[in-house]
Amino acid sequence: MFKKLLAMAFAIITVATLGFANPALADGAATFSANCAACHSGGGNVINPTATLSLADLQKNGKDSLEAIVTQVTYGKAPMPAFGGRLTDAQIEEVAAYVLSQAEAGW
């Protein structure tokens, strides 16, 4: 329950902050909060702490481009599920842009 409240607060603050600068990033933040934050809150990874969403880990794992992140989110890779049937292409692209921007900013 606390994690959900924390994720919701994070999403609200992020959306409020990013919403003025880039609406697509704000949408990506909201989609991330609703679909990804349970495992990746703050750019972490509760399942595999060595494969976080930090820029260093994204680079190490070859996931440091929009295309690579879109592919990962769309098709998944065990243990991460595929979101291609759950999210629209636009939502996946917005999440990818959000993840990459957060990674570049150091989460």
Q: Which domains occur in the chain, in start order?
A: 2-105 (1.10.760.10)
φ/ψ of 49, rounded to 5, equals -60, -10
Whole-angstrom Cα distance, residue 5 to residue 72? Answer: 26
Q: What is the pLDDT of residues 5-21, one digit of tens each?
A: 444 445 555 544 544 46
**Do 9 and 41 contact (CB within 8 A), yes or no?**
no
Higher pLDDT, 7 or 45: 45
- Which of these, 14, 11, 15, 76, lies nearest to 47 by C-alpha position? 76
CA distance linking residue 12 with residue 26, whole number of Å: 9
Higher pLDDT, 19 or 44: 44
Quickly tell me which residue has 């697509």 as its tokens. 24
